[in-house]
């Protein structure tokens, strides 16, 4: 009997511990715009589409209840009306909270309210956090990027950070907040500040594009890095600004310690070299994120053939399942596009409606250009394309210009107006999506180089304005 009682007590104790892992969000939606609400949690910075979603259908009276297990404190979104309305909230294991929401009074401070666990935390997010973004902040940042020197830019954002920390301190004097939430918001403020300053030199480069930026950075500009935790194993999953910050951080040091010290740095090695360099700066999940991000971007935007061999290194270092799942997807996607793989065949039409297949050009080197009439960068490459085509005139090289325009008539009119020469084809509506999938046309212009046997040579070939493409095509001609 005594053993039975002890067993029962133990079971009840164990169940009570388990119950602490459940979060219960219930409440009322007044004047609803649709019949659902959901709690959404993003915990995979390698894939912003990888979202945990917990949904409930509203009752006739507008009531809802969402219950799910949670292991650590996380920021989340309370969502109604799809993407139209999202309110940032903060939840912890064991929380029981009531939310009342009325979309008909969105401009009123009372449009959403919280009762129960974490109410003060979430009222901060509702009332104070929105003020962290100053009015016209985007415009202010653009003006400061153009006109401010590093010292004044840093001083402005230092004052912004201090004002935010002061607002947090003032709030908690009157409304006690959890230590977990305070730590989270403090990290958000610190990493947002660090990201803004870390990205400043590179945002200026983007802003001025080809113009040389003559700004000199004082020695103490990067002093803000002192005291910033570079390997925050919780923030990598909960604070997007941290993930962006460490990406800029690694890029900055790689640029200073590798690229600038190399007389003629081979840009095509950037993703592979940065992959190795990151190991000297970060560790654990933070390192896994940078390695994974570098692998994914390198496979999609760089030379997949160079970064794909790094897959086993990533797999050996990584300890997080969601990172592995995301990198696996890109690895399996790109390994079939490595040099030597068969180029996927497709059928397009010329301006007269005649169908042409890629395989019709077997026996020739093929340089493919995916473009559209509305694409400015595509059109800027056209003069260089004409020059490249003329250079190989009379030789066994086919230049295929594949338009992904939705409006075929506009494409034809553009050809007539610009008097464009070469093999110009249009991808019909019923085939364009498959062609774009097969060649991973995520952005245009995109160029692909194929050999005489119909095998891929470079799935992300150099643009016509790059002198190196002449040598690569000539090299293929010599092999025949």
Please say whether the beta carbons of 380 and 402 come within 8 A.
Answer: no
Q: Is pLDDT of 10 > 60? A: no
The domain 347-479 having CATH identifier 3.40.30.10: the answer here is yes
**Cα–Cα dist 46/457, whole Å:** 28
Tell me the three state secondary structure of residue 343.
coil
Query: What Rg value do the Cα atoms of the chain yield, rounded?
Result: 28
Distance CA 266, CA 433 (A): 34
CB 62 within 8 A of CB 30: yes
Give CATH 3.40.30.10 domain extents, the chain: 347-479
- Cα–Cα dist 172/235, whole Å: 22
Give, for 52, the enclosing helix (H) or strand (E). Answer: strand 51-57
DSSP calls for 132-168 = GS-TTHHHHHHHHHHH--HHHHHHHHHHHHHHHHHHH
Write out the two tokens for 130: 């929105």
Over residues 115-164, the pLDDT tens digits come to 999 999 999 999 998 887 654 455 556 777 777 788 989 998 999 999 99
Omega before 310 cis (within 30°)?
no
Residue 51's φ and ψ, nearest 5 degrees, are -125, 130
Please report, rounded to a whole number, the percentage of residues in the chain having pLDDT higher than 70: 92
- Pinpoint the residues of the chain covered by CATH 2.60.40: 22-118
| 390-435 tens-digit pLDDT | 999 989 999 999 999 998 899 999 888 877 777 899 998 889 999 9
Which helix (H) or strand (E) segment holds residue 478: the answer is helix 468-479
pLDDT of residue 210: 56
Q: How far is CA 148 from the centre of its chain?
A: 28
- Local confidence band at 274 (pLDDT 50, 70, 90 cut-offs): very high
Asked whether the bond before 445 is cis by omega within 30 degrees of 0, the reply is yes
Dihedrals φ, ψ of 450, to 5°?
-125, 140
| For residue 196, pLDDT beyond 60 | yes
Residue 6 pLDDT exceeds 60:
no
| CA dihedral (432, 435, 437, 441) positive or negative | negative
Q: How far is CA 44 from CA 222, 238, 316, 327, 430, in A?
A: 28, 9, 19, 12, 34
The pTM (predicted TM-score) of the whole model is: 0.78
Is 460 a residue whose pLDDT tops 90?
Answer: no
Q: Which CATH class is domain 22-118?
A: mainly beta
Q: Is the dihedral of CA 116, 120, 126, 129 positive or negative?
A: negative
Q: What is residue 2's predicted lDDT score, i.e. its pLDDT?
A: 46
Number of neighbouring beta carbons within 10 Å of residue 190: 23
Q: Are 438 and 459 in contact (CB under 8 A)?
A: no
Mean pLDDT, residues 462-474 = 94
Long-range Cβ contacts of 203-208 (<8 Å, 24+ apart): 203/145, 204/145, 207/142, 207/145, 207/146
Q: 343-374, pLDDT tens digit by residue?
A: 999 999 988 889 999 999 999 999 999 999 99
Dihedral angle sign, alpha carbons of residues 273, 274, 279, 285: negative
Q: Are 78 and 101 in contact (CB under 8 A)?
A: yes
Is the pLDDT at 323 greater than 90? The verdict is: yes
Confidence bin at 447 (pLDDT 50/70/90): very high
Asked if residue 41 lies in contact with residue 114, where contact means CB atoms within 8 angstroms, the answer is: no
Dig out the tokens for 247 from the structure. 């990406």
| Average pLDDT taken over every residue of the chain | 89
Distance CA 201, CA 198 (A): 7
CB atoms within 10 A of CB 7: 10
Sign of CA dihedral 443, 445, 451, 457: negative
Determine what percent of the chain falls in helix, strand and coil, rounding each to the nearest 5. 50, 20, 30
CA distances 5 to 8, 17, 118, Å, are 5, 18, 36
């Amino acid at each position: 009997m005594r053993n039975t009682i002890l067993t029962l007590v133990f079971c009840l104790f164990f169940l009570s511990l388990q119950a602490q892992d459940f979060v219960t969000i219930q409440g009322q939606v007044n004047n609803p715009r649709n019949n659902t609400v959901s709690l959404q949690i993003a915990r995979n910075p390698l894939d912003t589409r990888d979202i945990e979603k917990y949904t409930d259908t509203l009752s006739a009276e507008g009531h809802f209840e969402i219950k799910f297990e949670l292991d650590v404190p996380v920021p989340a979104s309370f969502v109604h009306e799809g993407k139209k309305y999202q309110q940032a909230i903060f939840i912890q294991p064991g929380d029981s909270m009531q939310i009342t929401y009325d979309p008909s009074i969105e401009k009123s401070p009372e449009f959403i309210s919280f009762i129960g666990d974490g109410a003060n935390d979430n009222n901060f997010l509702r009332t104070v956090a929105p003020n962290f973004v100053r009015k016209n902040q985007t415009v202010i940042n653009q003006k400061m990027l153009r006109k401010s020197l590093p010292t004044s830019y840093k001083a402005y954002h230092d004052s912004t950070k201090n004002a935010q920390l002061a607002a947090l301190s003032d709030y908690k004097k009157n409304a006690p907040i959890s230590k977990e939430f305070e730590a989270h918001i403090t990290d958000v403020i610190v990493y947002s500040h660090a990201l803004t300053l870390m990205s400043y030199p590179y945002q200026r480069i983007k802003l001025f594009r080809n113009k040389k930026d003559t700004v000199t950075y004082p020695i103490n500009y990067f002093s803000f890095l002192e005291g910033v935790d570079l390997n925050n194993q919780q923030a990598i999953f909960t604070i997007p600004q941290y993930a962006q910050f460490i990406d800029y951080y690694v890029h900055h040091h790689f640029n200073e310690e590798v690229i600038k010290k190399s007389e003629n740095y081979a840009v095509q090695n950037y993703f592979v070299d940065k992959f190795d360099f990151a190991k000297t700066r970060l560790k654990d999940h933070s390192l896994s994120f940078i390695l994974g991000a570098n692998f994914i971007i390198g496979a999609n935007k760089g030379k997949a053939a160079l970064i794909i061999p790094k897959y086993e290194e990533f797999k050996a270092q990584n300890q997080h399942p969601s990172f592995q799942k995301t990198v696996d997807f890109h690895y399996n996607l790109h390994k079939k596009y490595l040099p030597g793989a068969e180029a996927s065949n497709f059928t397009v039409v010329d301006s007269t409606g005649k169908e042409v297949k890629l395989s019709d050009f077997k026996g020739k080197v093929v340089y493919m250009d995916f473009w559209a009439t509305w694409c400015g960068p595509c059109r800027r490459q056209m003069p260089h394309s004409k020059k490249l085509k003329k250079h190989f005139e009379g030789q066994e090289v086919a230049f295929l210009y594949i338009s992904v325009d939705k409006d075929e008539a506009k494409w034809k009119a553009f050809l007539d107006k610009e008097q464009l020469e070469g093999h110009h084809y249009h991808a019909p509506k019923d085939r364009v999506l498959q062609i774009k999938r097969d060649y991973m046309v995520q952005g245009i212009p995109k160029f692909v180089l194929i050999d005489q046997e119909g095998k891929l040579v470079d799935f992300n070939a150099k643009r016509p304005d790059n002198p190196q493409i002449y040598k690569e095509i000539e090299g293929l001609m010599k092999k025949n």
